[in-house]
Structure 1
Amino acid sequence: MTRPVLAIDIGGTKTMTALVSDGEVLGEVTVPTQRSDGPDTWLTNAHAAAERWYGEYDAIGLAVTGFIRNGLWSAMNPETLGIPENYPLVEKTSALFGVHALAMNDAQAAAWGEYRYGAGSGGDLVFLTVSTGVGGGIVVNGRPLGGLAGHFGLMQSFGDSSSYLEDQVSGRWMQAEAARQGFGAMPAPDIFNAARNDETWAKAIVTRSARGIAMLCRDIQLVLDPAEIVIGGGVGLAEGYLDLVRDLSIQVPSTIRSNIVPAKLAAQAGVIGIADLAGR
C-alpha cells in the first residue's frame, strides 16, 4: 500500500477534503464553498478539515473548478466560481500544508480517476460532468490532458458568440430557466422531481439540457473518437437523465454514435484522480 495523499476538490458549491490511497477514499470531509470567502479562506478551511490526518501524507492534490496553468488558478466562467486571475494555488497550498502540491482542473482530475479506477475500459476516454456548470477531461494514449483541454462547457454554437454551452444546459441554467418561466428559483433536483411527476414545463427543461449534451457527445466523438464518454455530476447522474441523453443520441448516425456510460466514482472521482497523479 502506497502512502496516502491528501486530496482537495474545490467546486462551485462544495469543497471536499479527503485522504486517498490506491484509489480508495479512506476518509473525507465536505463543506459548502462560500463563494464570497475567496481562495485563501477555502484553503484555510481545507487545512482545518485535514488536521485529523496530520502526518499521514507527503503530497497534496488539488482538483478545482476553473483553469490551471503552471500552478496558477484562474476562473474560466466566473458565474461558476469567481477566482482572482492567476492565483498562486500550488505555491499557497505548499506553504500552508508544508508538502508538495499538484493542481489540475476538477473534471480533468475526475477523467483520470474514472480512467484508472472507474468506468474506463483502458482506451481513450472523455469525461463530462454536468452539474452547476459543465466541465470535462480527456485521457489520450494513457495520459490526461491539462490546460484548456476538456473545457467543453465554454464551447459556443456556430454563429452564437453570446452564450456558453453550460449556460444552456447546466444545473444553474435549469434553475434560472424555471424561474424565468415563473416557477421560482427551483434547484435542479426539484426540477427532475417535477419532470418525473409529468410536469410539462419541467420535462421540457430537462429535455433541452439532455439534447445539448447529446449533441456535445456527437461532436466529441467526431473530434476525438474515444472508447467511451463517461458522464457524471449531479445533473448528469440524476435519475433518467443519462437514458434521455442516449435516446436523443439515437438520432445521430450509428457510425458516429458515442458509447455513453455513467461515472462509477460519483463525487469521489476528482479526489481519487488527483490523488493518483499527485502521488506519482
Structure 2
Amino acid sequence: MNTHVSSSSPPSESGSAPRSPIGQTPGDILALISSGDAVTRAEIARHTGLARSTVSQRIDALIAHGFVDEDAEAPSTGGRPPRRLALRTYGHAIAGVDIGASHCRVGLLDMGGTLIVAREDPLTIANGPEAVLGHVERTLHTLLETADGTASRTLRAIGVGVPGPVEFSTGRPVDPPIMPGWHQYPIPQFFEDRFGVRALVDNDVNVMALAEQRRAFSDTLHLLYLKVGTGIGCGIVADGRIHRGAQGSAGDIGHIRVGERDEPCRCGNSGCLEAIAGGAALAARLRAAGLEAAGSLDIVQLVMEGNHEAVRMVREAGRSVGEVLSGLVNFFNPETVVVGGALAAVHDQLLAGVREAVYRRSNPLATHVLRIEPSRIGENAGAIGAGTLALEHALSPAQVDRALTTDAAV
C-alpha cells in the first residue's frame, strides 16, 4: 500500500530544526516517493523545482539511511531508462499494540504498512501496567526476532491503543474506568526506555477508526467507528484526520443517556448507553434469564446458536445504539459508519437494530448516502490502527528530516 502522511500524527516536538519550503526537504521528497507522486529523480526535480544535483544529494541520503530503494527501471521516454525510487519496506518494522480489557494483540507492520505478523494472548488489563506492558515487551522482542522467517527487523516506532481516555499529547491514560492503576502511567516512556524508539498512545477506538479509514474506506473522509463490546465507544475521522477533541475524550458515547432509562452505570450515572447495550450489561441480563453468559463472546455464541432471547437482546441493543448514533449522524453527517468490537461478530442482528433507529430518527439529507457497515479489518483493527498511527508519524517529513540530521551528527 502507499503510505501517506496524515495530521493524525502528534505535533512536532519543540526545538526541531527550521523547515525548508514544502516539497524540498529529504522528508518531503520521501513523502512524494511513498505516495507515488514522483518516483524518479527527474520527476522529483520537476515537482520540487530543485536542481538535479540537490535532488540527488537528498535521495542519496535517503538511500544511505535505509528509507529508499532505487532498483527497478521506470518507463523510458527515450534514451537510458530512469531508475525507479520506492519506499524501502523490508528490514524495518513498526509495532502496533492493541490492549483490551482481557486480551493483548501485538502486530508488526513493514514500512509500507503491510501486517507481517500478529499474536494475541489473553491478558487482564486490571493486573496493572507493569504486568501488562512487561508481557507486551516480551512478545514484541519475540516477534522482532522471528517475524516472517527473516533476520531480525529494526524497530522504528511503536503505536499503542488502550481501552480508556488518553491525553494524546502525553500518551498517558486519564482516570480510565476499566484500567485500575493506569491513571497517568507513562506508557510512552516505558517503551522508549526499553526499545529506544518513539511510542505513541491513543484510545483504542481512535486507532481502530484510523485502520478502517486508511485500509478499508480510503474514499471516505468523514467516518465514525463504533466499537460495541464490553463497553461502547466511537472513533471520529473528520476530513481524513482523527478528531480527538480538546483533551482527547471525543467519542466517549458510552455514557450518553438513552431516553428515560435508569439502569445504573459504572460511571456513577444511570441510563448510559453502555449500561443498556454494552456486552457486560447484556450478559448480566442473559444470566438473569437463566442462560450462561459471562461476557460478549458468550453472547455471540448464543446468537449464533439461534437462542431467541440472545437474538432479541442484541437487536434491541442495536436499536439503543442507533438511537444515540442518530444524533451523531445529524450532528456530524458522516459518509460511513463502521461497527466493530466483539458484538459486531453478530452484525446481522446488531446492525439491523442500528439501521432501524438511525434511518427512522435521522435527517433524510444526513442519511442520503450514509453507509452503515460491519468492520472490514476485523480482529486486527486495533493492532493495525496503532501501527498505522506510529508509521505515519515515523514517515512524516519532520521525523524523517530529524532522523537524517541526528544520524549525521553522530
TM-score by length of 1: 0.90
- Structure 2 residue runs without a partner (length 5+): 1-87, 146-152, 263-268, 394-410
Say if 1:121 and 1:227, in contact at 8 Å, map to a contact too.
no
Say if 1:119 and 1:230, in contact at 8 Å, map to a contact too.
no
**Alignment of 1:259 onto 2:371:** yes
Match of residue 240 from structure 2: 142
**Alignment of 1:276 onto 2:388:** yes
Post-superposition CA distance 1:113-156 (Å, at most 9, x none): 11111234332111111112112211112211231111211222
Say if 1:131 and 1:234, in contact at 8 Å, map to a contact too.
yes
**Alignment of 1:242 onto 2:332:** no
- SS where residue 281 of structure 2 aligns? helix
Give the whole-Å Cα distance in 2 for the aligned partners of 1:120 and 1:86.
Answer: 34
Give the whole-Å Cα distance in 2 for the aligned partners of 1:30 and 1:195.
Answer: 24
Considering only CA atoms, is the larger Rg found in Structure 1 or Structure 2? Answer: 2
CA drift at 1:75 = 4.1
Say if 1:128 and 1:134, in contact at 8 Å, map to a contact too.
yes
Post-superposition CA distance 1:84-119 (Å, at most 9, x none): 321111112211222111111111011111111123
Match of residue 72 from structure 1: 172
Say if 1:178 and 1:186, in contact at 8 Å, map to a contact too.
no
Percent identity over the alignment is 26
Match of residue 26 from structure 2: none
Say if 2:159 and 2:389, in contact at 8 Å, map to a contact too.
yes
Q: 1:171 aligns with which of 276, 279, 286?
A: 279
- Compared CA separation, residues 186 and 85, structure 1 to 2 (3 A): closer
- Compared CA separation, residues 43 and 183, structure 1 to 2 (3 A): same
Say if 1:6 and 1:57, in contact at 8 Å, map to a contact too.
yes
CA drift at 1:180 = 2.4
Say if 2:326 and 2:357, in contact at 8 Å, map to a contact too.
no
1:183 is matched by which residue type in structure 2?
L
Post-superposition CA distance 1:46-99 (Å, at most 9, x none): 111111305431111111110111221134333xx4343211111122112221
1:151 is matched by which residue type in structure 2?
D
CA drift at 1:255 = 3.4
- The 5 Å alignment of 1:213-224 reads 213-224=321-332
**Alignment of 1:24 onto 2:114:** yes
2:107 is matched by which residue type in structure 1?
A
2:375 is matched by which residue type in structure 1?
A
Say if 1:135 and 1:150, in contact at 8 Å, map to a contact too.
yes
Give the whole-Å Cα distance in 1 for the aligned partners of 2:216 and 2:180.
Answer: 30
Match of residue 207 from structure 1: 315
- The 5 Å alignment of 1:40-79 reads 40-52=130-142, 53-54=144-145, 55-69=153-167, 70-78=170-178
Tell which has more relative contact order, 1 or 2 (C-alpha 8 A, sep 6+).
1
Match of residue 125 from structure 1: 223
2:291 is matched by which residue type in structure 1?
F
* Count of residue pairs brought into register by the alignment: 278
- SS where residue 23 of structure 1 aligns? coil
Please give the root-mean-square deviation of Cα atoms over the aligned residues, in Å. 2.2
CA drift at 1:157 = 3.5
Match of residue 233 from structure 1: 341
- Structure 1 residue runs without a partner (length 5+): none
Give the whole-Å Cα distance in 1 for the aligned partners of 2:197 and 2:303.
Answer: 48
Higher strand share: 1
Say if 1:119 and 1:261, in contact at 8 Å, map to a contact too.
no
2:316 is matched by which residue type in structure 1?
R
Say if 2:259 and 2:271, in contact at 8 Å, map to a contact too.
no
Match of residue 154 from structure 1: 255
Give the whole-Å Cα distance in 1 for the aligned partners of 2:323 and 2:339.
Answer: 14
- SS where residue 219 of structure 1 aligns? helix
- Compared CA separation, residues 33 and 194, structure 1 to 2 (3 A): closer
